[in-house]
A = this chain, B = another copy of it.
């Protein structure tokens, strides 16, 4: 114990700050990521964003989840619409429609600037990590926002009628086709973000937070990168997920619909079962408190909280709960 205490005080002086690693998809994930960013000093938080939703459109590289996180952390996201930038205009898309252009993916004028800038920097040979850092800096964000990989991974949704690239399923088809599964093009050769792997392997991570994002298309692409599950298992820090399902519904997006189509109940418990022994704890909504015993019976401690985040206070409160819950959990050796 004396030795441990001495090493602890040493670590507080010279070792790298212990960090929180948040794994995030788009809107819901970005909200909790923002709560964590409000509560943690820069340097204590790294947000790893899914890039399986990324796509090339009209010559531009579009990274919806990275941008949702960046715009949210910058306080520039549109709250009413739930995606994109506040004060957005649609001049380019209006003109594109008039000349018969492909306008199913609605890109705002302000948002387009992000895609143009990113595409330009990527073409110059910069990595997506570097480009994301530059965008974050330009937006005044001090926290680390990382793509899950600099290598392209593209989520393909297997549907009754065949396969669809994610954005075709999500935006063009409005999630109507019934899903039968998913695959992640390019994942086998994609290298997970070096900063994330370093955090996990150097055991400098204090907790891993799986944000309330779609497990299939937002979190799985990160978890399924080569070496990530093993590194998570061995990093020594507790892994806590916040359920994206509340009262049988996803707050936003097709997670609940997908679960039903995949013959799972759309419930927090099914999310817990899906993540399985990866989790050391789960935060579920107060609406789902009755499911706590069943989840704990799986061996996963549960914290019940208000997980629906309608305000900055909600986001901070949930971040506090997640952090204190994670702090209370012992990672089994």
A117, closest chain B residue (CB)? B101
A124, closest chain B residue (CB)? B102
A56 to B59, CA, bound (A): 10
Q: Is A139 an interface residue (CB 8 A)?
A: yes
A100, closest chain B residue (CB)? B138
A109 contacts B96, C-beta separation under 8 Å: no
Q: How large is the interface on A (under 10, 10 to 19, 20 to 34, 35 or more residues)?
A: 20 to 34
Q: A59-B59, A60-B59, A102-B120 are in contact. Are A109 and B138 (CB under 8 A)?
A: no
In the complex, the count of this chain's copies comes to 2
Q: Is A114 an interface residue (CB 8 A)?
A: yes
Q: A59-B61, A100-B138, A138-B98 are in contact. Are A92 and B116 (CB under 8 A)?
A: yes
Q: A96-B113, A139-B99 are in contact. Are A120 and B89 (CB under 8 A)?
A: no
Q: A59-B60, A89-B91, A91-B89 are in contact. Are A101 and B123 (CB under 8 A)?
A: no
Q: Is A298 an interface residue (CB 8 A)?
A: no
B59 contacts A119, C-beta separation under 8 Å: yes
Q: Is A135 an interface residue (CB 8 A)?
A: yes
- A126-141, CB < 8 A from B: 134-135, 138-139
A138, closest chain B residue (CB)? B99
A134 to B114, CA, bound (A): 28
Q: Is A112 an interface residue (CB 8 A)?
A: yes
B120 contacts A101, C-beta separation under 8 Å: yes
Indicate which residue in B60, B94, B99, B115 contacts A117 across the interface (CB closer than 8 Å): B99
A97, closest chain B residue (CB)? B113
A100 contacts B60, C-beta separation under 8 Å: no
Chain B residues positioned under 8 Å from A102 (CB to CB): 117, 120
Secondary structure of the A side of the interface? helix
B92 contacts A109, C-beta separation under 8 Å: yes
Chain B residues positioned under 8 Å from A56 (CB to CB): 123
A135 to B56, CA, bound (A): 22
A101 contacts B113, C-beta separation under 8 Å: yes
Indicate which residue in B89, B99, B117 contacts A100 across the interface (CB closer than 8 Å): B117
A91 to B111, CA, bound (A): 10
Chain B residues positioned under 8 Å from A138 (CB to CB): 98-100
B91 contacts A123, C-beta separation under 8 Å: no
Chain B residues positioned under 8 Å from A139 (CB to CB): 99
Q: A59-B116, A99-B117 are in contact. Are A109 and B91 (CB under 8 A)?
A: yes
Q: Give 17 A-B contacts (CB < 8 Å), ordered by A residue.
A: A57-B120, A58-B60, A58-B117, A58-B119, A58-B120, A59-B59, A91-B110, A92-B92, A93-B113, A98-B113, A99-B113, A99-B114, A99-B135, A100-B134, A101-B117, A102-B117, A102-B120
